Amino acid sequence: MSRLENRSALVTGGGQGLGRAVSRRLAQEGAHVTIVDLNEEKGRECVGLITDEGGSAGFVRANVAKRDDIAAAVAEATVDGKLDVLVNAAQYFAMPKALELVTDKDWELSEATGPKATFRFMQLAHPALVASGGASVVNFVSGSALAGIGYTGPYSAAKGAVHALTKVAAKEWARHGIRVNAICPFALTDVQRDMIGTEWDNYTRTAEGSPFGRGADPDTEIAPAVAFLASADSGFVTGTVLYVDGGMTELSTVDYSASPGVFEG
């Protein structure tokens, strides 16, 4: 596979979970991938995996909620003034709870790591994306926002904002030859399990109730879809959401009302 040969790519949250799968796949397709992650151990581990597989990658430790960190990451990923692929996968996930119990911290972290980080990466990378002459931006959205899943207020609001930002950027940046799309995945990863803790059993039951009865495999089902959007194979695709969720958003009903702590202050 060499659809992205001699292309430069930046993946936020690229050291773990879905981001790691995407980083590896883009490298397998020939791109030099700059992995941006707050977890240095995971980020450097992913670089090692990629280089062991014969790919090319570098790592930048960054907090995507900090503009200076974002600027440094974009500068590191830019090659000869160009950045060909930008994937915004990082996002804080607040535990499910009723809206009346959502805290300022829940909201602020969701906003800072989601739409604000996505906007900042896109804005600061814009000159390098323009210089590419055919760049692709792939943002991560969620069925939680698009289907209005209850008890996911901060996360859904953040992903809804990313969805809107994707469409606005696609319209504004088409004149530069920049395509901006979003992917809506549903997968089960170790990162999610560690993040939500006791909520994991409920999450897996949700997956079992989906049309396919499972979540996607990050490496074989999510990452290839991102690579498609990143490559020239999707050269006339922009401003759209690619659902890689096994029908979860359109065909399933998710109910977090029985989750532990949802109605506890």
Residues annotated as catalytic (active site), given as ranges: 155
Q: Maximum Cα–Cα distance for the chain, whole Å? A: 53
| Residue 182 to residue 94: CA distance in whole angstroms | 21
Pairing of strands 241-244, 179-185: parallel
Helix, strand or coil, per DSSP, at residue 166: helix
Please list, residue by residue across 127-159, b when 16 or more beta carbons sit within 10 angstroms of its beta carbon and e when fewer do.
ebbbebeebbbbbbbbbbbbbebbbbbbbbbbb
CB neighbours of residue 53 within 10 Å = 11
